[in-house]
Amino acid sequence: MDSNHNPFSDDEALNPSEFNDEPDYEETAQSLSPEDRRAIDRLVDSGWSPDAADSGAGKVAALLGGLDGVALPEDRTLADVTMVRVARRRELERREPELTPADADALDAWVLAGFDPAKVPGSLKQRAAAHDRLASMVTAGGSAPAMLIDQTLARVREVDEASLEPIPIGRNRGGRVRFWDFVAVAASLVIGASVLWPVMNSVREESRQTICASNMRASAFAMGSYAGANRDALPMASAGLPGRLWWNVGRPEESNSANLFELSRQDYVGLDSLACPGNRVAPTRLTDPAARDWRRLEEVSYSYRIMFGNDRPQWSSPSSVVLLADRSPVVQRAVLGQPIHPMENSHNHGRRGQNVLFNDGSVIWLETPELANGDNIWLPRDIEIVIDHLTGRRASPLNGFETPAGVEDAFVGP
C-alpha cells in the first residue's frame, strides 16, 4: 500500500460527525454505518491483515494503526526534558532553603545588636535591615477582639498572683531557716554560673569572629574596587619608600596603617568595616574629614600588608598573598620594647586565633600565625630564619623598619 496515499478520500471517508472534538462515545459506537461495521468485521476475520481484506477494511486498518504510532524524535526529546524538569523541581521542593553566608552573618549580628539594625556594623547593616523588615512581617498580626484581650490579661494576672505565693522553706523545730538550705541554693547558683558562663562567652566570641570575617570580606571588595581604579595597585597613601617607621600610627607620611586608611578616606568602605568588634577602642565613623590615619596604634584593628620596599604585590598577583589580618601582637610588644612571641595569636579574639584575608578575596581562620607553608604572618622572612636558630622561638623586638623579603613573604603590620 502506498504510504503517501490518503485512505480516506472526501467521498469515501467515515462519517466525520462521529469524530468531533467532544464525542459522545456511546452515540459514536451506535452511529457506525452498516458498511463500516462490515468492514471492521472483515478486517477481524482476515486476522488484522489489510492486504487480505478489501479496500474498506484497509481504510479501517489505516485508521486504527495511527493509534499506536511511533513518537517522533522531537516528541521524545520534549518528554525527556519535561521529566528532567519535573525531577529537578521535586528535588528543589525537598531541599530546605538556606541562608547565604553573608545573610547568616547579618542575622547573627542583628540578634547580638538587640534586633536593632542601626547598631549592626556597616558591612552588614543593609542585610540586617532586610531581616528586620521580614521579622516585622512575621510578628505583625491582626487586632484581637476586646473580650479576648480582657480574658487573656485576667488569666495572666491569675498566674502572676499564684507565682507570688511564698515558697515554703524547711525550718527546724526552733523555727529558724536551716543553714544547709542556703548552702544548697548557693552551690546550685555557682555550678550553674560555672557551666553557663563559658558557653555564653564562647557564643559571644564566635559572633565577633563572624562579624570580623564579614568586615574583611567588605574590605576585600573595597580593595578590588580601588585596584580597578588604580591599575591593579593596592591601597597606598605615600610613595612607600623603605626606611620609614611604618608602625608610627598617626603620621600618614610614615605609617603603614595610613595605607589601609585610604579605603575609608576615599569612600571605598566605611570605617566601621575596618573596626574589629574585639577592639573596643576602634572608631567606627570618620569624625574628621581631613584625617588620613588612625590617631594611635590602639585604634587600629587590622594589620595590613607592609607596603614599604621594592617588591609590592598587586591585587591580581598570581601567588597567594596575605593582605590583612587581625592586629599583630608581635608589633604591639615590639612598640613597647618587650620581647616578642612569634607564635602568639592576635588579642582581637582572646588569643584564640586570627582572621586572615588573601588577595583572592578569601578569608580563613588561623589558630596559629603560621600559614600552611610555615610562613609566619607577623614577621619578615629574614627574622624568621634567625628565630629558627633560637631556643624557645623568642627574639629581640622588631624596630619598625623591616620589609617583606618578596611578594610571597607574608608580613603584616602594625
Per-residue pLDDT reduced to its tens digit, 103-145: 888 887 777 777 788 877 777 888 888 888 887 776 545 555 6
Nearest to 325 by CA among 232, 213, 210, 202: 213
Phi and psi at 370, nearest 5°, equal -100, 135
156-177 pLDDT, tens digit each: 777 666 656 565 555 555 555 5
* Residue 109 to residues 58, 60, 129, 162, Cα–Cα distance (Å): 80, 76, 11, 38
What residues does each domain of the chain span?
Answer: 16-68, 207-413
Based on its alpha-carbon atoms, the radius of gyration of the chain, rounded to whole angstroms, reads 40
Strand partners, 357: 324, 363
Question: How much is the pLDDT for 294?
Answer: 96
β-strands 412-413, 302-305 pairing: antiparallel
In order along the chain (414 residues), what is the average pLDDT of each group of 10 residues?
45 45 45 75 73 68 62 59 70 71 80 76 82 72 61 73 59 59 74 66 80 92 92 84 83 92 94 93 91 95 90 87 95 91 93 94 94 92 73 57 77 80
Set of cell numbers at residue 361: 578575596
Question: How much is the pLDDT for 367?
Answer: 95
